[in-house]
Amino acid sequence: MARHLITSAIPYINGIKHLGNLVGSQLPADLFARYQRARGHEVLFLCATDEHGTPAELAAKKAGQPVAEYCAEMHETQARIAEGFRLSFDHFGRSSSPQNHALTQHFAGVLADRGLIREVSETQMYSTTDGRYLPDRYIEGTCPNCGFEDARGDQCDNCTKQLDPVDLIDPRSVISGATDLEMRETKHLYLRQSTMKDELEAWIDSKTDWPVLTTSIAKKWLNDGDGLQDRGITRDLDWGIPVKRGDQDWPGMEGKVFYVWFDAPIEYIASAQEWVDAGKGRDWERWWRTDKGADDVRYTQFMGKDNVPFHTLSFPATILGSEEPWKLVDYIKSFNYLNYEGGQFSTSRGRGVFMDQALEILPADYWRWWLLSHAPESSDAEFTWENFQSSVNKDLADVLGNFASRVTKFCRSKFGETVPEGGAWGERETALVAALQDKLGDYTRQMEAMEVRKSAATLRAIWVLGNEYLQDAAPWSTFKEDPETAAMQIRLGLNLIRFYAVLSAPFIPDAAAQLLEAMGDADAAWPDDVDAALQALPAGHAFTVPDVTFRKITDAEREEWQARFSGKRA
């Protein structure tokens, strides 16, 4: 039995996320976690809310709430929505937790002891209008690299280039829009990433199986321009983890907090401590400390491409620089962006579908299937309502749902609600088993390799094989002349429903559970041997006809939703 540690990028606390955020990290991570559990492996799947930094302060200010109260409320909201999408986290933590405070301060102290933190006197943007220093995310302007007009002071979301606020053209305050910004002197701590460039590069080069998207972004940051730069790890903010050297005060750093991108990845480790402290698990160190048993753990991270630099460079620099026996990531699965109807999702303009809205419209499985089967792996992907409607209607309703309905209803009408006996497999059935065994091998390899779209396509092909068999065998016609053969064909069909449900559970867990319950085998195991799997339900085994597994989306619904989420104001 293998052990899999799985983390998805932790979402910012500032509001409900859209479908692109979901498919860029949490949903494919859940797919992989569910698959590995189904194979009998031990899994620890962790996520959390990222609660510090400028986004939290700005969102709380807009909501008219104290920031701590706002974060607590939004954590509950995000946790509830994650549950609605059936994201199977073992723990959904908070970066503001006491565990993360202590661990972040610990890492800072150790890195300082190793000579990897330096104190820098620098000038920083100060807004006389706002009466405060403006951390990087409080400043927006035009990117000097690509010309994007809404680049942030730390990074351009358009070209992913790392920036400093002073690099921006025509900078402005996010708080007030003021442009009367001036540079004033302040002190901050920097992580000396530049001294670790060779070590980081050698580590990245050793990951020969990583996706091209992941390694290309990491290499770009390592080698573009002047190469890997030291990174500021403190900010002049009120909300965050106070700057300490372990449990000791840090002279000169009074009133400052750690930068969100320093403490947020450390929350992956802290969330395992929270998991134990919440009474959900035990012995978190066997997952994170190689001197405590984590050397046999396979650690996989899932994230959008904008998060790759921090997970391939800054967080590994923290781990490696500590010289302590912490578990490093083995594989980083990164994703491109999901766009919406020819443009971007926009909270401010009400453009696109956000996670809470999606669940108001349709159950989670509809969204899970479309998002995973269209995951933006090799390039950006595009959500359109026409494509969504077509995929749901053809894949889920016509192929999977219709098969389950036809088989169970025909059996009930001719043989009752028990698996019928009689008849023996012939050439058609033997050929079906061989084809399914071949496809199952493909599906397993693709799921192991985290090839999300290919896995979905193969799963659909497996569903199609059963439909083609049913059409070719035509038990409704066979029954008139040869009831025993028809009984065998339907018995095989019922076993196919069970087979499909087990394989489909990582993608569409609610539908899979419904079908397994209808087949009277809720705890069915992963079917390595198709021959045995298609004989698992014996003659006389009771079943029920399931409710409609998936309904079709009407043209009227599609048009209504398209208008509702277009972002156009009436």
Cα–Cα distance for residue pair 74/430, rounded to 1 Å = 54
What is Dmax (Cα atoms) for the chain? 92
What's the number of CA atoms in the CB half-sphere (13 Å) around residue 88?
A: 20
What 3-state DSSP class applies to 58? helix
47 is in an annotated binding site: no
The radius of gyration computed from the CA coordinates of the chain, to the nearest angstrom, equals: 27
User: What tokens were used for 501?
Assistant: 């449900």
For residue 449, the number of C-alpha atoms closer than 13 Å in the C-beta half-sphere is 14
What separation in angstroms does the CA of 359 have from each of 32, 82, 301, 363?
22, 10, 26, 6
What's the CA gap between 281 and 258, in Å, rounded?
29
Give the full edge-to-edge strand order of the sheet including 331-335: 91-94, 42-49, 3-8, 297-304, 331-335
Q: Residue 235 has which token pair? A: 């900010």
Residues 6+ apart with CB under 8 A from 173: 127, 129, 130, 134, 138, 139, 179, 181
Query: Scanning the structure block, which residue is given the tokens 């932790």?
Result: 10
| Tokens (6 digits) for 12 | 């910012």
Task: Yes or no: say if 333 and 450 are a contact pair by the CB < 8 Å rule.
Answer: yes
Give CA torsion, residues 169, 259, 67, 85, to 10 deg: 90
156 is in an annotated binding site: yes
Contacts (Cβ under 8 Å, ≥6 apart) of 356: 16, 77, 81
DSSP 534: T
The three-class DSSP label of residue 178 is: coil
Other CB atoms within 10 A of residue 540 CB: 9
Can you tell me which residue has the tokens 């969102």? 59
Distances (CA, A) of 168 to 124, 193, 231: 13, 23, 17
- Residue numbers in the known binding site for Zn(2+) are 143, 146, 156, 159
- Residue numbers in the known binding site for ATP are 347
- Residue numbers in the known binding site are 143, 146, 156, 159, 347
